[in-house]
Structure 1
Amino acid sequence: MPRYAFEDFTPGLTQMLGPFTVTKEALLAFAQEYDAQPFHVDEVAAKDSFIGTLIASGWHTCSINMRLFAEGLLLDSTSMGAPGIEEVKWLKPVRPGDTLRSRISVLETRPSKSRPSLGLVRFQFEMLNQADEIVLTQTNWVMFGRRDAEPLKGSGPSVLAAAASAMPDHTPARELPHISSNPYFEDLVIGEKEELGSYTFEADDIIGFARQFDPQRFHVDAEAARDSLFGALCASGWHTAAVWMKLMVGHRSRIRTNALAHGARPARLGPSPGFTNLKWLKPVYAGDTLTYRSAVARKRVSNSRPGWGLVFHHNCATNQHGEEVFSFEGMVFWERRP
């Protein structure tokens, strides 16, 4: 019997997880695969960035937090996954050599009304570096089986959908033709939509990512996954999010290449302060192909960064059946027209 079940989590409970040291090699490896922006992969280019040094991708920091959570608690629990993330804030950069710990706190618990054998626990995470500075905060619900309850085999899709539906929806109200130029902040129009590309989640890729960052049984073991809530091997939610970043960077790289080919100076994007309302609406199984899209939701001029604006965007992914499986509200610093 796992050590932790739903009944073991009470509001006010705290625990410190870690430590984990971020090596330069690991920082570069993650960024080169999923977030190859200059300030994550190129030390020389990073000197001309907001921070001035090489820093970790925010998605890498989230994935490390997931690893600490899994190793410190989830792998010895009745965890049944999470429907999404309410909010993440990247408060300070994570640099090569930083040592991170994650302080988790139980905010509230809620027995499931539709599934008596499980309950939901709302956690707050604070990731600290070696100077005890908070580099990341995160708030989200996690589903846990109740002690001695019968397992809910194969019912993951309906359970995820029900849990995610309780989260607020901030989808932009309208969609316009996709962006085809090299827009600066002033050129962006609310509602403009971009298709970023498609990606097929193969079993080996799912297992490889999960072994590094989210080694729960339904992500790393096809046989064990058959007896889980999801009924089959499925991708970590952080894997689906990292692939969004990978395709976004690839899309921006194509825009940059096109701009340079036409003698234009490409608009630059800065780092992201965080995101909200991330939903994992349906499991992503081995062999699924997701198509990712992004739309401008709103924007404002930055008060703290002259020459830059802050752009808020709605992002989503649909599988090969046209079902939306993933969405979130992001934000990013965007260069203004010189």
Structure 2
Amino acid sequence: MQETLFCLRVGHRLPYSMSYSNTTDFTNPSTFILLGIPGLEAAHVWLSIPFCTMYVAAVLGNFTILFIVKREPRLHAPMYYFICMLAITDLVLSTSMLPKMLSIFWFNSREIDFSACLTQMYFIHCFSVMESGILVAMAFDRYIAICDPLKHSTTLANPMVAKIGLAVVLRSAMLILPYPLLTRQWPYCKSNIIPDTHCMHIAVVKLACADTRISSYYGLFVLFCVKGLDMFFVALSYTQILRAIFRLPTKDARLKTFGTCSSHLFSILAFFIPALFSSLTYRFGQNVPLHFRVLIGNVNLLVPPMLNPITYGVRTKQIRDRLHQLFSHKDI
């Protein structure tokens, strides 16, 4: 009965038999139920339109960036390699959550297998941390290019770029691995209903009926000591970059130099600000409406993948020129 009342409050009716099974003890439920955006169920079809549009734009934009960099030898340089890493990360990140979201919005397919939920959780958080690391690497690239340009080609040679990319991947894979491992061991005797469109770590952990402080503390560690440190290193790099820019003799030189890193700075703001806000509201924003928290979480996973290729395509002259040649069918 308590479970049925909960379902009515979030605006989703489940059959009584399913509600009753959710109140029994089970260590690992066979499925979780994703509610979508609680309170906005009637608008799910309409909400799917902007989300689907953002996803299509992200896929087309990031594949275009990868195609252009691959085809243009002049773009085989550290900055563009990092842009390609960012594009691949954005593609995986957005694809990890949007197909299931659309199946909820369009077909009311709310069930997700327990293992599939943990897999989705791992991919979303892993590639989110990976994107954070790539943005730090790109900030380091801009720092070397502006503050010590003579050493840029030797400091960031192709082997070093490959090592940085590998380090970013391994760091993300290892740091997020405890998420599903810890989540799998908790008993779930309260509910298997997740008031979200995808399996976020903190949302799943809250359903456990055990002392899950280790999962909560580890999640906070990843948030503050990993993403927080990444933000610190990015801020440190840009402090040095801005100091170097302001020391340039002319205004035109300052504007031109700042223009070379403005697209990266925009990507940093578009990623870190919503990500930090979303993570904090999930843990401490009890007074924030649930549907608003879910919307912000979805926007955080879809807007950066959509904006990054647009930003780099518009702001990076080499990519812009190659894109113009591609659509105007001119020979290079």
TM-score, normalised with respect to structure 1:
0.31
Q: Which has the higher helix share?
A: 2
Q: Which has the higher strand share?
A: 1
